[in-house]
């Protein structure tokens, strides 16, 4: 079925990029587990495909599906979220400058500041919620702004539309990492971003069983350049991974609705909990960018960050006591996870920078799953108690 942008998200999630297999009628896109494709005569290919690093029908279906969900024309899938990020950085040349959000994903920070810095690409970290700081940091060498919203773990919300206007005025490319929000809650391209990036490992995959990344754009020139980098570097996903992700996107809207409902109830509960000092959740009125979140997103997501009363000892005790919330890195799966950013996901961020961002020893991050919410609340209560 051909689906257009006017169809409901759920309809597009299930049908976009897919049609029954023309050779058998199979309703699900087959796993075309093949490296190469036979040619009729040298250089004369039978269909659209010659070699699976360049393109593969299962991957093409996934790329079209996710592009549609982001309201974009072109999608490109990668072996991981950081591989997708690296492809964007390869658009740059030595001497170019990048503005990077000051609390982006740790692996993104590492890639810019420790891998591409060696190739002469300069990175400047900026608080993207401060639009004057963004404007001030731009100069004639600035070629890319890399924005993440909501951020991790402090869930700061940046104004994508406002940053896009600044980027446009200065002829700078804006890439938005939309992993935390997902295309269901927020579509950066519609707000003026040039490129959207996801780690599909998280909510898009949703079942904690695969690693992947995707880039989406509406700009045919950007798409061709990124596709050339994808082909040349070869960090493409396996075919089985693409099949798993096609299966996942079909339920993205249903999962996200439940993630949001559960997280809202848990945030409310923890907000009134005697053992909790502070709750950060974009859906709470106390969140500094609550109004912006309401405007920019159509739900507040499944991530909650809390400051518990006490320090490292109390945090450790809580993380050892939860049963349903499993202590693990990563996020966005159907099962609930709990983690301690200072020791786990953000250990590689220098202590001084961690302190500046508010990543203290009593900070705990929850990825709220889609289990029964009363069970999740009871689990947190007994762990805090
Ligand atoms: C996990 C994550 C990444 C990196 O993705 P991988 O699939 O682990 O390579 C990038 N950005 C955000 C926001 C993430 O959470």
Tell me, yes or no, whether 297 and 207 share the same domain: no
Domain boundary among 218, 249, 280: 249
What CATH number corresponds to the domain at position 354? Answer: 3.90.1150.10
Q: Cα torsion at 373, 376, 378, 379 (round to 10°)? A: 180
Give the whole-angstrom CA distance, residue 353 versus residue 212. 28
- Is 354 part of any domain? yes
Contact 339, 345 (CB under 8 A): yes
Task: Write out pLDDT tens, residues 37-49.
Answer: 999 999 999 989 9
SS3 content of the chain, % helix, strand, coil (to 5): 40, 15, 45
Whether ligand 1 lies within 6 angstroms of the CB of 365 is answered as: no
Among the candidates 249, 279, 312, a domain finishes at: 249
Q: pLDDT by residue (tens digit) across 232-279?
A: 999 999 999 999 999 999 999 999 999 999 999 999 999 999 999 999
Instruction: Find the 208 Cα to ligand 1 centroid distance in Å.
Output: 13
d(CA 132, CA 279): 28
Residue 1 lies in a domain: no
Q: Looking at the 3D structure of the chain, how many domains does it have? A: 2
pLDDT band at 348 (very low <50, low <70, confident <90, very high): confident
| Domain of residue 32, residue span | 9-249
- Looking at residue 347, its pLDDT comes to 87
Which of 249, 274, 308 is a domain's end point?
249
pTM: 0.97
Cβ(201) – ligand 1 distance below 6 Å: yes
Q: Among 109-113, 159-163, 289-293, 371-375, which is the least confidently predicted range?
A: 109-113
Please name the residue whose Cα sits nearest to atom 1 of ligand 1. Answer: 199
Please give the Cα distance from 116 to 112 (Å, whole number). Answer: 5
Q: Is 142 left (phi over 0), alpha (psi -120 to 50) or beta?
A: beta
Out of 12, 97, 156, 202, pick the active-site residue: 202
What is the tens place of the pLDDT at every residue in 174-221? 999 999 999 999 999 999 999 999 999 999 999 999 999 999 999 999
Q: At residue 5, does pLDDT exceed 70? A: no
């Amino acid at each position: 079925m051909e689906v257009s942008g006017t169809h409901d998200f759920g309809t597009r999630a299930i049908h976009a990029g897919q049609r029954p297999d023309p050779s058998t009628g199979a309703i699900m896109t087959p796993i075309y587990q093949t490296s190469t494709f036979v040619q009729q005569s040298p250089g004369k290919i039978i269909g659209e495909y010659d070699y699976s690093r360049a393109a593969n029908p299962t991957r093409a279906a996934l790329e079209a599906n996710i592009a549609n969900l982001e309201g974009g024309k072109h999608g490109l899938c990668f072996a991981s979220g950081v591989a997708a990020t690296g492809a964007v950085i390869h658009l740059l040349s030595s001497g170019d400058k990048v503005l990077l959000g000051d609390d982006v994903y740790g692996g993104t920070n590492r890639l810019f500041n420790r891998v591409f810095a060696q190739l002469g690409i300069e990175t400047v970290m900026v608080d993207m919620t401060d639009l004057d700081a963004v404007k001030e940091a731009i100069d004639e060498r600035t070629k890319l702004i890399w924005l993440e919203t909501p951020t991790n773990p402090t869930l700061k919300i940046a104004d994508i539309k406002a940053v896009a206007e600044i980027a446009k005025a200065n002829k700078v490319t804006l890439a938005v990492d939309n992993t935390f929000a997902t295309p269901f809650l927020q579509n950066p391209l519609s707000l003026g971003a040039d490129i959207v990036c996801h780690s599909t490992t998280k909510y898009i995959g949703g079942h904690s069983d695969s690693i992947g990344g995707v880039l989406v754009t509406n700009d045919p020139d950007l798409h061709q350049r990124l596709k050339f980098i994808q082909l040349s570097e070869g960090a493409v996903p396996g075919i089985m991974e693409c099949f798993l992700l096609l299966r996942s996107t079909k339920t993205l809207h249903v999962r996200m609705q439940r993630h949001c409902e559960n997280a809202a109830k848990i945030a409310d509960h923890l907000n009134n909990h005697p053992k909790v000092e502070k709750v950060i959740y974009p859906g709470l009125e106390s969140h500094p960018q609550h109004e912006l979140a309401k405007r920019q997103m159509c739900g507040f997501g499944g991530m909650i960050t809390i400051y518990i009363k006490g320090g490292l000892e109390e945090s450790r005790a809580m993380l050892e006591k939860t049963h349903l919330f499993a202590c693990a890195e990563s996020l966005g799966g159907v099962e609930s996870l709990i983690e301690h950013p200072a020791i786990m996901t953000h250990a590689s961020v220098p202590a001084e920078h961690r302190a500046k961002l508010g990543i203290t020893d009593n900070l705990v991050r929850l990825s709220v799953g889609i289990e029964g919410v009363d069970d999740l609340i009871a689990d947190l209560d007994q762990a805090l108690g």
